Amino acid sequence: MNTHIESPAVGVTSRRPAILALALVAALAFCPSGAVLATEKAVVIPPPADDAVAANASTSETAVLAGGCFWGVQGVFQHVKGVTNAVSGYAGGEAGTAHYDMVGMGHTGHAESVRITFDPKQISYGQILQIYFSVAHDPTELNRQGPDVGMQYRSTIFPSNPEQTRIAKAYIAQLDRAKVFGKSIATTVEPLKAFYPAEAYHQDFMTRNPDHPYISYNDLPKVDNLKRVFPDRYRAKPVLVGTGA
Q: Are 141 and 156 in contact (CB under 8 A)?
A: no
Q: Out of 42, 66, 69, 116, which one is annotated catalytic?
A: 69
Beta bridge partners of 111: 91
For the segment 65-101, what is each residue's pLDDT rounded down to a tens digit? Answer: 999 999 999 999 999 999 999 999 999 999 999 999 9
Model pLDDT for residues 205-236, shown as the tens digit of each residue: 999 999 999 999 999 999 999 999 999 999 99
Separation between Cα atoms, residue 167 and residue 104, nearest integer Å: 30
Give the pLDDT confidence score for residue 34 in this predicted structure. Answer: 30
pLDDT in tens, 29-72: 322 323 333 456 799 999 999 998 775 657 899 999 999 999 99
31 a catalytic residue: no
Q: What is the CATH number assigned to the segment(s) 19-229?
A: 3.30.1060.10
User: What does the pLDDT read at residue 33?
Assistant: 29
Task: Write out the H or E segment, with its range, that includes residue 196.
Answer: strand 195-197
140-187, pLDDT tens digit by residue?
999 999 899 999 999 999 999 999 999 999 999 999 999 999 999 999
Contact 129, 158 (CB under 8 A): no
**What pLDDT was estimated at residue 177?**
97
Helix axes 220-229, 70-77, angle to 10 degrees: 30
- The ranges assigned to domains in the chain are 19-229
**Residue 9 pLDDT more than 50?**
no
- Cβ atoms of 155 and 113 closer than 8 Å: no
pTM: 0.85
Q: How confident is the model at residue 20 (pLDDT cuts 50, 70, 90)?
A: very low
